[in-house]
């Protein structure tokens, strides 16, 4: 019986392939970064060929270096950066334009127009989302209007739309499968989360031909089989899930009220709300957590656009250090209670502000401010933003915040996780496997292949590596957080 699952984790700045065993242990990892393109202020694009080649290269590297026989691979699970939008030729598979990344703000004026015209209630009631450039609908509408010949060709049924998962499925299966899962569909602003179908009213609102849209399957389902030319054998694809929902699964947050926060390029806090969608009073999002056997589980989500991307900017833009691992030692050099604040609104502010035209700033600089204080402020900004989300969710759900499970590359930094626990005032648990996004995709594929009976069996595999207990006095916590709120107000548009 096959002993391993291959997870593809296609992220915003890199692609990774990870081989897992049945117990969720990491056997081998390969990672490859790819370029980001910034053609104008607030515009962010990826070359789809870079995405494809990085995925293919990492999968091949993992398989080659692990020494595992292809016959020992049960199949593949895919997780991906959400909302990033692609449009390609159905006959050739060639993209018509670069992928417009989820962080891209080019449609901010269009979104404001839609809100002014009174469409916000329709969008939120059908999709659980707020009108914002973050989501796929306005990106796709922009492509149809601005790429030469796109609208005419779309009307003739010659083109296909997809988020990154759909594009990878199309390529891996040789164009035989044009599909997505319910979690990724729920992030397009075109999918009705109540009927679990593409929404005719919204397709009409954005003037998007239904022929462009992929089939929507469960998160654990039959997504076809890879062509043998790509990985050396035909491998079944059994799981597809958006990256943040994948981490929710990887963290085994299957009971209503359980939640996780992932720290990658951005930061995303999701809390499972069960079989019924919950509407936020604080401008958080209602989304699909996962869909299994046709049954939908919902979640409430807060989205922060810049987390690890701020560390990347401090490294590559300001050149304050050469490796992100250095940030922990630098942060430890700062005095307690320093008052430098970095608001990383490089691509606007996400939840709960939803201000696409806000821009970043650093406040509180004095003559004794140095590299350490600026780096620490970049790390603390992630924690302050998580506190923003925590406060909103606590108010929406009417319950005090509970233990938070965290994952993502940033949580290897123990100074950051301790400050996070101090700022939230709750216990923060870090799992033994930090690759929870890829792990969630592997688990969902495992369900499809019969590896696991149910979610309960998966939950038994979760292990805590370390718990961080808050130790900061409440008066100091509130003083620091008040300074953050004042800084955020000063960058809003």
Is-contact 57 220, C-beta < 8 A? no
Which residue is it, tokens 């996070």?
420
Question: Nearest-5° angle of CA 235, CA 240, CA 244?
Answer: 140
> 263: which strand partners?
267
pLDDT tens digits along 301-312: 988 888 888 898
pLDDT tens digits along 131-158: 999 899 999 999 999 999 999 999 999 9
DSSP string, 143-177: HHHHSTTHHHHHHTT-EEEE-HHHHHHHHHTTTS-
Q: Across all residues in the chain, what is the average pLDDT?
A: 93
* Measured torsion, CA atoms of residues 199, 201, 207, 212, in degrees rounded to the nearest 10: 20
H or E element at residue 238: strand 237-242
- pTM, whole model, 2 decimals? 0.87
pLDDT tens digits along 164-222: 999 999 999 999 999 999 999 999 999 999 999 999 999 999 999 999 999 999 999 99
Exposed, middle or buried: residue 456 (CB in 10 Å: 0-12, 13-18, 19+)?
exposed
* Measured torsion, CA atoms of residues 438, 440, 446, 448, in degrees rounded to the nearest 10: -120
Residue 337 has pLDDT above 80, yes or no: no
Exposed, middle or buried: residue 221 (CB in 10 Å: 0-12, 13-18, 19+)?
buried
Is-contact 130 122, C-beta < 8 A? no
pLDDT tens digits along 338-388: 789 999 998 788 878 888 788 999 999 998 889 999 999 999 999 999 999
Q: What percent of the chain has pLDDT over 90?
A: 76
Q: How confident is the model at residue 391 (pLDDT cuts 50, 70, 90)?
A: confident
Residue 262 corresponds to which tokens in the numbers above? 């992932």
Residue 26 has pLDDT above 80, yes or no: yes
Q: How confident is the model at residue 76 (pLDDT cuts 50, 70, 90)?
A: very high
Hey, how many other C-beta atoms are within 10 angstroms of the C-beta on 482? 10
- Interior/surface letters 183-201, b for 16+ CB within 10 angstroms, e for the rest: bbbbbbbbbbbeebebbee
Which residue is it, tokens 């990106």?
139
DSSP string, 368-410: T--HHHHHHHHHHHHHHHHHHHHHHHHHHHTS----EEEESGG
Is-contact 307 383, C-beta < 8 A? no
Q: Rounded to whole angstroms, how far apart are CA atoms 263 and 32?
A: 18
Taken in order 156, 161, 167, 170, the sign of the CA dihedral is: negative
Q: Rounded to whole angstroms, how far apart are CA atoms 216 and 195?
A: 12
Is-contact 249 444, C-beta < 8 A? yes
């Amino acid at each position: 019986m096959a002993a391993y699952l291959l997870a593809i984790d296609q992220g915003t700045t890199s692609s990774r392939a990870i081989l897992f065993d049945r117990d969720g242990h990491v056997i081998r990892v390969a990672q490859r970064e790819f370029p980001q393109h910034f053609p104008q202020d607030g515009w962010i694009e990826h070359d789809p060929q870079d995405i494809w080649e990085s995925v293919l290269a990492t999968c091949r590297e993992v398989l080659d270096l692990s020494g595992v026989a292809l016959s020992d691979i049960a199949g593949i699970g895919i997780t991906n950066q959400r909302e990033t939008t692609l449009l390609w030729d159905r006959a050739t598979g060639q993209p018509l334009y670069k992928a417009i990344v989820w962080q891209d703000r080019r449609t901010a004026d269009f979104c404001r127009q839609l809100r002014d015209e009174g469409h916000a209630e329709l969008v939120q009631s059908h999709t659980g989302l707020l009108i914002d450039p973050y989501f796929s609908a306005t990106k796709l509408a922009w492509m149809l209007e601005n790429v030469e010949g796109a609208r005419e060709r779309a009307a003739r049924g010659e083109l296909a739309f997809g988020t990154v998962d759909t594009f990878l499925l199309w390529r891996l299966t040789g164009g035989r499968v044009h599909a997505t899962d319910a979690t990724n569909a729920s992030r397009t602003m075109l999918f009705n989360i109540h009927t679990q179908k593409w929404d005719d009213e919204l397709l009409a609102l954005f003037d998007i031909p239904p022929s462009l849209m992929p089939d929507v399957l469960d998160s654990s389902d039959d997504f076809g089989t890879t062509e043998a030319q790509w990985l050396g054998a035909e491998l079944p694809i059994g799981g597809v899930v958006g990256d943040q929902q994948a981490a929710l699964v990887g963290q085994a947050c299957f009971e209503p009220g359980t939640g996780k926060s992932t720290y990658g390029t951005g930061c995303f806090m999701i809390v499972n709300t069960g079989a019924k969608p919950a509407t936020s009073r604080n401008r958080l999002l209602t989304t699909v957590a996962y869909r299994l056997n046709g049954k939908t589980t919902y979640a409430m989500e807060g989205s922060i656009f810049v987390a690890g991307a701020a560390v990347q900017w401090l490294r590559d833009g300001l050149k304050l250090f050469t490796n992100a691992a250095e940030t922990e030692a630098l942060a430890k050099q700062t005095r307690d209670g320093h008052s430098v604040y970095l608001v990383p609104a490089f691509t606007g502010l996400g939840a709960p502000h939803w201000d696409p035209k806000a821009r970043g700033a650093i406040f509180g600089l004095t003559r004794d401010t140095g590299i350490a204080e600026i780096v620490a402020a970049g790390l603390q900004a992630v924690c302050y933003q998580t506190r923003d989300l925590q406060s909103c969710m606590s108010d929406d759900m009417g319950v005090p915040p509970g233990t938070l499970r965290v994952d993502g590359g940033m949580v290897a930094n123990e100074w950051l996780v301790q400050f996070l626990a101090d700022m939230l005032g709750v216990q923060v648990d870090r799992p033994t496997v930090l690759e929870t996004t890829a792990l969630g995709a592997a688990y969902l594929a495992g369900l499809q292949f019969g590896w696991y009976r149910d979610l309960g069996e998966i939950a038994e595999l979760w292990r805590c590596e370390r718990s961080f207990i808050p130790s900061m006095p409440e008066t100091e916590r509130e003083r620091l957080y008040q300074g953050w709120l004042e800084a955020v107000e000063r960058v809003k548009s």
